Amino acid sequence: MRTILVNVVAFLIAVLLQVMVAPYIAIGGVSPNFLMITVIIMALAEGANTGTVLGFIAGLLFDLLGAGPVGPMALVLSVTGYITGLVQENLFAEGWLLPVAIITGATFASEILYMIVILFMGTQTSLWGAFIGIVLPSTLYNAVCATIVCPILTRALRDNASPVIFSSIR
C-alpha cells in the first residue's frame, strides 16, 4: 500500500511541476520534462511493467497539456518506461550518479524517438534544427534537473525499491 501511495504522490508532484514550474524555467523555449524524469526513476525502481503504464499515463497527460498532437509522447514514454524498467534488473548503482546517467541517456533517446514520431505524423521541421534546438538542450536540462530530483525521489522509493539499485542512498 505504501508503494502505491508513494508512486501516486510522486506522480502528482511531477504533474504539478510540469504544469506550474517547467514553463517558467524554460531556457530558449526548452523546458525540463519532469514527467519523463519521474517515469524513468520509477521504472528503475519498480520495473518494466510499472514503467510502461506510468509512461503511457504521463505521456498522455503531457500530450493533453501541450499544444501538439495527442499520442506521440504517450508512445515515447511507454517505450522509455519499459526499456528503463528492463535495465532495473541489471543495474548495480553506487549512489544516484548511475541513475542520473541513465536518465540522461534515456532522455536523449526519447527526444530522438519523439522527433521521429512527429516527423512521421507529417510535421514539417528541420531535422538538424530540431536536434540542435530541442533534443540536445532538453537532454542537458533533464540531466541537470535529474541531479536534483533523483536523490529525493529515490529516497522516497528506497524502502520499496530493489535493494540492489539504490543500496548506497541512505
Ranges of H-type helices in the chain: 2-16, 34-46, 48-65, 72-87, 97-120, 127-130, 136-157
Angle in degrees, 0-180, between the axes of helices 48-65 and 34-46, rounded to the nearest 10: 170
Alpha-carbon distance 35 to 162, whole Å? 22
Summary mean pLDDT of the chain: 86
Say what the pLDDT of residue 168 is: 42
> How much is the pLDDT for 127?
84
The answer to whether the beta carbons of residues 10 and 126 sit under 8 Å apart is no
- Rounded CA-CA distance 50/58 in Å is 12
Taking each helix axis as running N to C, give the angle between helix 136-157 and helix 2-16, from 0 to 180 degrees, rounded to the nearest 10: 150
Lowest mean pLDDT among 9-13, 29-33, 125-129: 125-129
∠138-97-161 over CA atoms, to 5°?
Answer: 100
Q: Name the one residue in this structure whose C-alpha cell is 500530450.
A: 63
Q: Calculate what percentage of the chain has a pLDDT beyond 70.
A: 87
* Helix or strand run (H / E) with residue 93: none
How far apart CA 92 and CA 132 sit, in angstroms, is 32
Based on its alpha-carbon atoms, the radius of gyration of the chain, rounded to whole angstroms, reads: 15
Band the pLDDT of 166: cuts 50, 70, 90: very low
102-113 per-position pLDDT tens digit: 999 999 999 999
- The cell 550518479 sits on which residue? 97
On the question of pLDDT at 162 being above 80, the answer is: no
Task: Indicate the SS3 state at residue 96.
Answer: coil
